[in-house]
């Protein structure tokens, strides 16, 4: 299926539209960006991070980031988990008595 319309990103009119590469197609009601913007988004979307747990490389957009910066906050530090290793919220109940 090819749909011609206006690109969401650059606003060019009357171009064949493509799905956004970083969003699941099932979440997009219709293609909405032009080919140029699609490949631009794709090049930006392919930032890979390493899963702290299993070592797999996963796209940053799909990874779960965790802030592990030291208390002094001098060097902000983040670790990432793939969807399979992402810790769940209710697994950890910390008491905050500050
Ligand atoms: Zn465009
Ligand atoms: Zn993993």
Distance 91 CA to ligand 2 centre (A): 17
User: Residue 93's pLDDT is what?
Assistant: 54
User: Residue 94's pLDDT is what?
Assistant: 57
User: Residue 95's pLDDT is what?
Assistant: 59
In this predicted structure, the answer to whether residue 9 has a pLDDT above a threshold of 90 is yes
The model's pLDDT over 24-79, given as tens digits with 9 standing for 90+, comes to: 899 999 999 999 999 998 887 677 889 999 999 888 878 999 888 888 867 888 89
Q: Contact at 8 Å (CB) between 80 and 51?
A: yes
Q: Is 14 left (phi over 0), alpha (psi -120 to 50) or beta?
A: left
Q: Which ligand is nearest to the CA of 32?
A: 1
Distance 15 CA to ligand 2 centre (A): 40
User: Residue 35's pLDDT is what?
Assistant: 95
Q: Which ligand is nearest to the CA of 38?
A: 1
């Amino acid at each position: 299926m090819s749909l011609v319309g206006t690109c969401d990103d650059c606003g060019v009119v009357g171009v064949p539209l493509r799905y956004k590469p970083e969003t699941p197609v099932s979440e997009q009601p219709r293609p909405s960006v032009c080919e140029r913007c699609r490949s631009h988004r794709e090049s930006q979307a392919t930032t890979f991070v390493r899963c702290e747990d299993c070592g797999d490389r996963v796209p940053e957009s799909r990874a779960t980031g965790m802030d592990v910066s030291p208390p002094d906050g001098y060097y902000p530090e983040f670790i990432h988990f793939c969807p399979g290793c992402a810790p769940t919220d209710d697994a950890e109940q910390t008491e905050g008595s500050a």
